[in-house]
A and B are shown apart, each in its own frame.
Chain A
Amino acid sequence: MKNKPLHPGAAVEIRSAPHVKAPRSVEQIMRNVVYSLLPICGFFVFQYGISAAFSIVAITASCLATERFFVKTGTQSGSLSDFSATITGILLALTLPPGFPLWMGAVAGFIAIALGKALFGGIGFNVFNPALVGRAFVQAAFPVAIATYTPSFLPGRFGEFIPSSLAWPLMVPADTVAWLHAKQLDALSGATPLAKWKFDGILASAGELLSSMSGHMAVGPSPVLIILCGVYLALRRFMDWRIPLAIVGSAGLTAWILFAIDPHSYPNPFFMLFSGGLILGAVYMATDMATSPVTPGGMWVYGALIGLLTVLIRYYSGLPEGVMYAILLGNAATPLIERITQPTPFGKSGLLSPKRRATYPLHPEYISREEANAVTPKKKSFKPGKKS
């Protein structure tokens, strides 16, 4: 063997094992999340037309520009190619009303990246979900604009902007109610189902909520579509299934208990789950990797906390919607949750101490399929030696 290129003494950087790597990268995970968001964006545009399309583009562009600025100046780590800012932008756009003034959207995008991410040092270091930081900021800064929804499936939505979209910066946006009035659509309210329930006591029907297909309702993307996209991510292991399940389970359970106590003053749990942004929040917002716990036990606790808080905020606060604050509170609690749910290292669970049990049954589940069909004694017992 000629060893021209590998003669002894050639400088080699020594790395430890493992010497092979799984074909997976941050960029790949984030790119797949973006792919899974595309159908949802498409549906959103289908619902609200050109305003929604411009809103998504403007907010995402603002996020990307901000990210680029902070990466360039060295304030934060990461790069544009990891798609994380794209996700932030799209999610932020999906949580805002479609007729949200574009300049306000751009501000929200800037705040999301600057205060939500760059301030902490970039990807992986942020404490709060950047998209929700942006949304929380504009909710405080522009409370009227963020509560102004228009009905979906308006005629002519692909040719005409919702007038508030094109508001000049720092100017009062055009009056959407007057615009709707002028279109003789004032019979339809621009309120979301949650706001309707909270302030008018009107419940939307189940089918309308699930599909988001019935017109003239101010709703976000269809929960069914979001769940389908979430299932894709979970199956391809780009997302952990525990958090969405825990949120939906906990919110559903809380709502069901309240409904069982007093069906007259509380809506049915189904309405709670599929109205507002709960499903979008559970599948895409709460599962943000950097801001959610990494321990499996912690994921359940975190999800349960968010579900509970969402329902409580919706019922007992002055706000119609509570998902955003519930998730931000969950984000804040993440370090604490991780600390109390640290997994037990192998061989340290006291229950398995060999001193407690004289014999040990063989776990039949642990044997592979083939072996399970084979004739094996059901129980095996070991007598530990005198020493143990």
Chain B
Amino acid sequence: MKFMKLFRRLKGIGWGVHPADHKRPAADAPVRAMPVSARLYLPLQQHLGGPARPVVLVGQKVRKGELLAEAQGAVSAPVHAPTSGVVVAVTEVAAPHPSGLTLPAIILEADGLDEWTELRGCDAPFALSAAEIGRRVAAAGVVGLGGAAFPSAVKLVGAARARVAALVINGGECEPYLSCDDRLMRDSAPAIVDGIRLMLRATGAGRALVGIEDNKPEAIAAMRAAVAGIGAVRIHAVPARYPMGSEKQLIQVLTGIEVPADGRPADIGVIVHNVGTALAVRAAVREGKPLISRLLTVNGRCANRPGNIEVRIGTLAEEVIAFAGGLKGDGLGLARRVIGGPMMGVQIPHWRVPVVKGTSGILALDATEVDGIAGRETAPCIRCGSCVKACPMGLLPLEMSARIRNGAFAEAIPFGLKDCIACGCCAYVCPSHIPLVQYFAHAKGELAGQERDRLRAEATKKMARQRQERVEREAREKAEAAARRKAGRAAAAGKQGEPACFNPRPD
């Protein structure tokens, strides 16, 4: 038994990778608050689910925190004004997305006054009912700040309904380069713990487990100090291993339970929230403040002054970088612009995209960081099996990519394509430099497109059939009406003995 324990410790966790984290010095630099930009670009869909519906008019004056667009549908989140100013347009702006496509958005011109609208806070939030906390969180537009941007209120209410036993708070921040959660935990640990307790109240869960990677000793110490005397919240240092911050992996490490592949964490009585979300929940419930700004990390070897910056939602990445200190050599060595972390973030074609609620980082990477070894090219797979050992989901990435490269997308499914979480471990370790995740993303997109086409074909067939029936019915009705009229005319003619008068409009 002792030996097994030692063996497991030597072996470590069986999955994942351990990239150089590059978190310092950005994590150690104090947070800088960025002043409000002249114009803010607020996409209506900054979250998973249905886009918000604008409720303001062009030219309308709004104050900071005022509702701009309301939630629409069961899974959605509203958008609020990050500062006071005038709505200048409701139009399309570039999305923080690799395609460079646009997204409907509200453009707000700041008036420089930055005056709050009336806020409806609450001094005794623990007296509120769970449903009321959920309503306030929903009204504040709080979404998961870890990156997925799932509307938090939906998760809280769902968890209360599923009667979860435990709340897992994700302070893992396993993505290299990013340190905004670390910084939040160091700077506002008591507020985060307060937010966690509000979430416990909202979900009815008995305990909260906070998992923090052990490469953040300062954050662990600050959080430990903040939970002293609070029995329901426990801080656990978890091994620093990517992707520790992935929901299912963190649950497994903290509780030893595997979330079923086709299930959600709520199925085993757990829900996961990010530490940043806890802070946003606290602001929403205690102060009534909507989510209008967030902390994000500017990092990468091309950034002049890496650090964490408090940014209003809707600020352009370009302005954030300029505020942070600009790029080295005006961006000459820049190899890749990334929104989010380097392992799962998205590459963007240019910097003129707005910061949204889920933006956890803006990275300016140079060629040596992107390639690991400079000037590497994709080589054939040597079947070394590194990807298999790194995969946290227990899949066979090499088999999937080989099939996808040949265009056989469906054949990749038995090897786990649908279970792939796109964490990037396989492509990170691949010595042949094969862009495995891109193959998977391509195949997933193509398969989704095929499925959409199939559904669409079914729908059009149904529509065609319905139209056919309608046309036939109309023809029948017309014929019947004509027959009736004819019969009527015949009867009239028989009675009167003369033809019916000319009817210019027979219908």
Chain A interfacial positions (CB closer than 8 Å to B)? 1-10, 12, 14-26, 28-29, 77-78, 82, 84, 122-125, 240, 289-290, 292-296, 342-349, 352-354, 360-363, 365-371, 376, 380, 382-388
Contact = CB atoms under 8 A, between A and B. Distances in A.
A15 B260 contact: no
Contact of B256 (A84, A296, A366, A387): A366
A383 B253 CA distance: 18
Given A26-B382, A366-B256, A368-B214, A15 B431 contact: no
A21 B261 contact: no
A15 B268 contact: no
B343 A18 contact: yes
Given A5-B330, A294-B388, A20 B380 contact: no
A206 to B, nearest CB: 28
B268 to A, nearest CB: 5
A292 B438 CA distance: 26
B256 A362 contact: yes
B198 interface: no
Nearest to A387: B162
Interface string B344-385: 111101111000000000010100011111001001111111
Interface in B217-252: 234, 236-239, 248-249, 252
B376 A122 contact: no
A345 B262 CA distance: 11
B396 A343 contact: yes
B266 interface: yes
B257 A360 contact: yes
A20 B258 contact: no
A296 B340 CA distance: 33
B77 interface: no
Given A16-B346, A17-B340, 17 more contacts: A1-B318, A1-B327, A1-B330, A16-B98, A17-B344, A18-B344, A19-B342, A19-B343, A21-B370, A84-B382, A347-B260, A353-B260, A354-B267, A366-B238, A371-B238, A384-B268, A385-B269
A365 B3 CA distance: 12
A347 B228 CA distance: 34
Nearest to A7: B350
Interface stretch (B51-59, B419-427, B487-495): B419-427
Contact of A19 (B345, B351, B384, B430): B345
A20 B347 contact: no
Given A8-B352, A17-B344, A17-B345, A365 B416 contact: no
Given A367-B237, A386-B163, A5 B256 contact: no
A350 to B, nearest CB: 10
B283 interface: no
Contacts of B382: 26, 29, 84, 123-124, 289-290
B87 to A, nearest CB: 24
Contacts of A371: 236-238
Nearest to B333: A5
Contacts of B334: 5-6
Nearest to A374: B237
Nearest to B381: A124
A2 B330 CA distance: 7
Chain B interface size range: 35 or more
B341 to A, nearest CB: 8
A385 B350 CA distance: 47
B372 A20 contact: yes
Contacts of A125: 380
Contacts, number: 271
Contacts of A386: 163
Most buried by B among A1, A21, A342, A348: A21
Interface in B388-412: 388-389, 392-396, 398
Contact of B372 (A24, A293, A376): A24
B385 A240 contact: yes
A28 B259 contact: no
Contacts of A349: 258
B285 interface: no
A87 to B, nearest CB: 12
Contact of A21 (B263, B331, B428): B428
Contacts of B166: 382
A224 B428 CA distance: 35
A22 B19 contact: yes
Nearest to A28: B431
Contacts of A8: 94, 349-350, 352
A82 to B, nearest CB: 7
Contacts of A295: 385, 388, 396
Interface string B420-451: 00101001111111010110010000000000
B267 A387 contact: yes
A24 B379 contact: no
B346 A17 contact: yes
Contacts of A77: 379-380
Contact of A1 (B214, B326, B441): B326
A369 B239 CA distance: 9
A82 B382 CA distance: 11
